[in-house]
């Protein structure tokens, strides 16, 4: 047996170190590095691939040869944490892989075959470690991409079946990560429609904590496929060992955190195995989605900045580019508009300095006009009653005002009351002989079916080819899956539905991006219901939430930007009282909050008149001139969490070269008797001096030192007291280096 195993060991890449074999030692060390982190695996003498370390850089590969991390010598066999634990190996924790082999065997035991590494592009190294079952012709490839500058790694797995017949995969995780500490604190993001990305932090005790989704579509509305893990204490902004994780997948997911009997934390992440067994035929391969990780030894602030840098550069479209200021028609007009309503909105938008006008829901359907949400979805022809001169008239009008034109679509969905539902009932996700359950009066199209994929692609493509003046699309998705079932998939493969739907969606997006690589697409699913790094890859921005109340948005955007780049966070000024919460807030507060993300408006702009109009125009100018470049490519430093006691929130963006910054502070509650916040800044060049100037003042100065120059160490260590105490007062300051 051993000779056989030794024969398997070959092909060591650049990341692999060989040593002379000694009793009890590992035979190889595989090191994957970024600027400040190392991920280390070792191959032991039984040719098992053992996890050794993921965290701060360790430059001593020879130590990993001598010693097995987390090994349990007191157990019957030498229990170590395998890099990819399978069921059938004596693994007693959650398995990363559970397969039923072609002969019915439930057991898999992987041995190391090879490791290879390649620099795929400057700053990115890809390592593939190949493992093979000791008995069956069944291979698992573990991929890790290391992004040097961003301190991010991404991991995924490819399973290949070369057995005689089909292998059934029940569990097939993207990544396995064991961590060892005294205690573990998990931050995760929960919510609901209009309340996405609420932040919860909890101590993990023995047992399994699972974050998952079984909804198929709109998968991040109630839990997001991302987390932070802090070792030994709750996560802190500027200190402590902290990991960030996010799964790049828009379908069902499962992130499992098991503290086992040895108090090791096992993190298993990937597609949710729930009703999703995958039959892998002989000769076939299945690739899992990517799991993204980053690590910082200086707290969660750096974790976020790593993810933002990585996300902007590699995980979204146009992430480092300046985004337009948008007026979206939804809250200003809903379904009730005609040409004049829209051209009137464009007149005001152009006057106020807005750059793109987006026509939301309600513009289509003739036989079944889309005058509310119960009809017309699926019939993507312009409604001739509302818009007799067609889309081109509106597009030309927008252009004549110097605006770009954008359009809303929801191409994965259909109202039963539509021509599409009548023409193609077989395209609808359904369960034979059962009544279909609607949600927002709509049904879901079956994207596992290539004909539906073509249809969805064509909705997008034909709109753009027949109206080349469209320069922005808001892609919405307003329901989840109930009654999973496909008329396209055979009976034996109905459990493939969940994965095939997401593969179908991605293949449509691939086609779109091949033809329209830079076109601006907003990711929306009833707000932030499809905010994950799998979807973001095809989008330029995301509709953070349908809740546009600025107080709610402070919390939603705080949670969202812990993981996702602020440049993508569409953040719109809406009317007061707010349509979702009925809360009244001053226009300045609404603008100041919206200016922490991609600024836009979501109201009838003609209702902003007089002093408010003057203020709005000035704020838009400030955003364009000073704030937007910092939101786009600056580093986010969170200064006061809205979740902390005190009732304040504060953050800043600092330019990468530290020459300028923007500081925001918000009063969330009434603070009586002149209790003001003292804000200690962060991220500045400690050796420099900065001039601080308040913007969006609206007739009031909120800092006694407005316009003066301060040393960075004063600003960061002493801090500044801001005169904001009333509920919903806020302040925005620009900082510039003074030489
Ligand atoms: C849900 C979106 O989140 C809203 O912004 C709006 O586009 C509506 N759908 C339109 O139906």
For residue 560, how far is its CA from the centre of ligand 1 (angstroms)? 19
At 8, the pLDDT band (50, 70, 90 cuts) reads very low
The minimum-distance atom of ligand 1 relative to the CA of 373 is 11
- Eight-state DSSP code of residue 15: T
Nearest CA residue ID for atom 9, ligand 1: 526
User: Which of 375, 478, 542, 556 for mutating ligand 1's site (highest number of atoms within 8 Å of CB)?
Assistant: 478
For residue 543, give the ligand 1 atom closest to its CA. Answer: 3
Q: How many CA within 13 A on the CB side of residue 31? A: 20
Distance 315 CA to ligand 1 centre (A): 24
Q: What is the pLDDT of residue 303?
A: 99
Q: 75 pLDDT band (50/70/90 cuts)?
A: low
Domain coordinates of the chain in residue numbers? 2-314, 326-635, 637-738
Per residue in 310-325, pLDDT (tens digit) is 999 999 999 999 999 9
pLDDT, tens digit, 9 for 90 and up, residues 364-420: 999 999 999 999 999 999 999 999 999 999 999 999 999 999 999 999 999 999 999
User: Which residue out of 526, 531, 541, 542 has the highest number of ligand 1 atoms within 8 Å of its CB and is therefore the one to mutate?
Assistant: 526
**Ligand 1 atom showing the smallest separation from residue 546 Cα:** 3
Best of 192, 361, 376, 539 to mutate for ligand 1, by most ligand atoms within 8 A of CB?
A: 361
C-alpha span between 592 and 588 (Å, rounded): 6
User: Model-level pTM?
Assistant: 0.96
Say how far apart CA 587 and CA 328 lie, in whole Å.
Answer: 17
Sheet containing strand 49-56, strands side by side: 16-18, 28-33, 37-43, 49-56
Sign of CA dihedral 383, 464, 548, 527: positive
Closest ligand 1 atom to the C-alpha of 529?
Answer: 3
Q: What is the DSSP letter of 277?
A: -
Give domain 637-738's CATH superfamily. Golgi alpha-mannosidase II (2.60.40.1180)
* H or E segment and range at residue 201: strand 198-204
Model confidence at 442, pLDDT cuts 50, 70, 90, reads very high
Report the atom number in ligand 1 closest to the C-alpha of 525.
3
- Out of 524, 571, 572, mutate this one to test ligand 1's pocket (max ligand atoms within 8 Å of CB): namely 524
| Residue with CA closest to ligand 1 atom 10 | 361
Average pLDDT of the chain is 95
Higher pLDDT, 59 or 329: 329
The pLDDT value recorded for residue 76 is: 58
Residue 135 CB neighbour total at 10 angstroms = 13
Calpha distance 575→590 (Å, rounded): 9
What lines the ligand 1 site, CB under 6 Å? 330, 360-361, 408, 476, 478, 524, 526-527, 543, 546
Measuring from atom 5 of ligand 1, which residue has the nearest CA? 546
Query: Can you tell me the distance from the alpha carbon of 354 to that of 325, in angstroms, rounded to the nearest whole number?
Result: 5
Q: Which atom of ligand 1 is closest in space to residue 526's alpha carbon?
A: 3
Run of H or E including 113? strand 110-121
Q: Cα(563)–Cα(409) distance, rounded to whole angstroms?
A: 27
Does pLDDT of 630 surpass 80?
yes
The fraction of the chain above a pLDDT of 70, given in percent, is 96
How far the first Cα of the chain sits from its last, in Å, is: 71
Q: In the CATH scheme, what is the code of domain 2-314?
A: 2.70.98.60
Tens-place pLDDT, residues 497-513: 999 999 999 999 999 99
Per-residue pLDDT averaged across 541-550, rounded?
A: 98
Give pLDDT, residue 476: 98
Question: pLDDT-derived band of residue 676, with 50, 70 and 90 as boundaries?
Answer: very high
CATH code at 326-635: 3.20.20.70
Q: Please identify, by atom number, the ligand 1 atom nearest to the C-alpha of residue 602.
A: 5
Question: Hey, what are 506's tokens?
Answer: 């991605």
Contact of 436 with 416, CB cutoff 8 Å = yes
Read off the pLDDT of each residue in 143-170 and give the average, rounded to a whole number: 98
Indicate if the pLDDT at residue 72 is higher than 80: no
CA distance 203 to 207: 12
Q: Is pLDDT at 16 greater than 50 in this prediction? A: no
**Section 714-719 average pLDDT:** 98
């Amino acid at each position: 047996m051993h000779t056989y195993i030794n024969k398997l060991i070959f092909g060591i890449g650049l990341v692999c170190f060989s040593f002379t074999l000694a009793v009890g030692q590992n035979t190889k060390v595989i090191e994957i590095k970024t600027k400040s982190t190392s991920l280390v695996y070792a191959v032991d003498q039984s040719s098992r691939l053992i996890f050794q370390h993921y965290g701060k850089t360790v430059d001593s590969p020879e130590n990993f040869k001598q010693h097995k991390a987390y090994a349990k010598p007191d157990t019957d066999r030498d229990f170590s944490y395998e890099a990819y634990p399978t069921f059938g190996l004596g693994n007693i924790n959650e398995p990363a892989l559970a397969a039923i082999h072609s002969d019915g065997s439930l057991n898999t035991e992987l041995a190391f075959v090879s490791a290879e590494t390649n620099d795929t592009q400057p700053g990115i190294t890809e390592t593939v470690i190949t493992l093979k079952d000791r008995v069956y012709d069944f291979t698992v490839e573990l991929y890790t991409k290391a992004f040097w500058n961003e301190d991010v790694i991404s991991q995924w797995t490819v399973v290949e079946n070369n057995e005689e017949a089909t292998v059934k995969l029940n569990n097939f995780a993207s990544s396995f990560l064991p961590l060892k500490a005294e205690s573990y604190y998990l931050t995760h993001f929960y919510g609901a429609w209009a309340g996405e990305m609420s932040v919860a932090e909890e101590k993990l005790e023995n047992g399994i904590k699972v974050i998952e989704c079984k909804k198929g579509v709109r998968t991040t509305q109630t839990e997001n496929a991302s987390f932070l893990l802090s070792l030994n204490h709750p996560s802190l902004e500027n200190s402590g060992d902290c990991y960030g994780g996010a799964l790049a997948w828009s379908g069902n997911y499962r992130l499992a955190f098991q503290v086992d009997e040895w108090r090791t934390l096992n993190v298993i992440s990937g597609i949710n195995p729930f009703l999703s067994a995958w039959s892998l035929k002989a000769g076939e391969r299945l690739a899992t989605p990517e799991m993204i990780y980053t690590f910082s030894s200086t707290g969660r602030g750096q974790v976020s900045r790593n993810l933002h840098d990585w996300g902007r550069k590699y995980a979204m479209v146009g992430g480092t580019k300046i985004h337009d200021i948008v007026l979206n028609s939804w809250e200003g007009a809903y379904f009730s508009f005609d040409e004049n309503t829209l051209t009137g909105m464009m007149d005001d938008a152009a006057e106020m300095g807005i750059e793109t006008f987006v026509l939301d829901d309600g513009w289509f359907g003739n036989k079944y006009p889309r005058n509310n949400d119960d009809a017309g979805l699926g019939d993507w022809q312009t409604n001739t009653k509302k818009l007799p001169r067609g889309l081109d008239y509106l597009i030309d009008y927008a252009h004549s005002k110097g605006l770009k034109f954008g359009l809303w679509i929801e191409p994965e969905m259909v109202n039963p009351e539509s021509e599409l539902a009548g023409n193609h009932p077989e395209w609808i996700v359904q369960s034979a002989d059962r009544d279909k359950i609607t949600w927002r009066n709509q049904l879901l199209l079956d994207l596992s079916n290539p004909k539906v994929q073509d249809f969805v692609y064509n909705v997008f493509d034909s709109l753009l080819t027949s109206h080349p003046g469209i320069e922005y699309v808001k892609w919405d998705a307003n329901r989840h899956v109930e009654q999973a079932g496909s008329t396209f998939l055979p009976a034996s493969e109905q459990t493939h539905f969940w994965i095939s739907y997401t593969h179908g969606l991605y293949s449509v997006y691939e086609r779109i991006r091949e033809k329209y690589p830079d076109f601006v697409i907003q990711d929306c699913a009833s707000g932030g219901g499809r905010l994950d790094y799998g979807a973001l890859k095809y989008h330029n921005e995301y509709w953070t939430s349908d809740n546009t109340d600025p107080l709610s948005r402070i919390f939603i955007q705080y949670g969202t930007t812990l993981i996702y780049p602020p440049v993508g966070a569409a953040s719109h000024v809406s009317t007061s009282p707010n349509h979702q919460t009925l809360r009244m807030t001053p226009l300045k507060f609404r603008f100041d909050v919206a200016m922490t993300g991609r600024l836009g408006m979501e109201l009838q702009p003609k209702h902003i008149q007089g002093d408010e109009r003057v203020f709005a125009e000035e704020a838009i100018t400030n955003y364009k001139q000073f704030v937007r470049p910092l939101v786009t490519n600056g580093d986010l430093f969170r200064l006061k969490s809205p979740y902390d006691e005190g009732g304040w929130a504060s953050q800043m963006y600092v330019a990468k070269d530290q020459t300028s910054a923007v500081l925001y502070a918000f009063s969330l509650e009434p603070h009586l008797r002149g209790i003001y916040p003292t804000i200690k800044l962060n991220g500045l060049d400690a050796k420099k001096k900065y001039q601080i100037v308040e913007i969006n003042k609206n007739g009031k100065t909120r800092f006694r030192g407005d316009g003066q120059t301060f040393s960075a160490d004063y600003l960061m260590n002493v801090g500044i007291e801001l005169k904001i105490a009333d509920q919903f007062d806020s302040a925005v300051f620009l900082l510039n280096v003074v030489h």
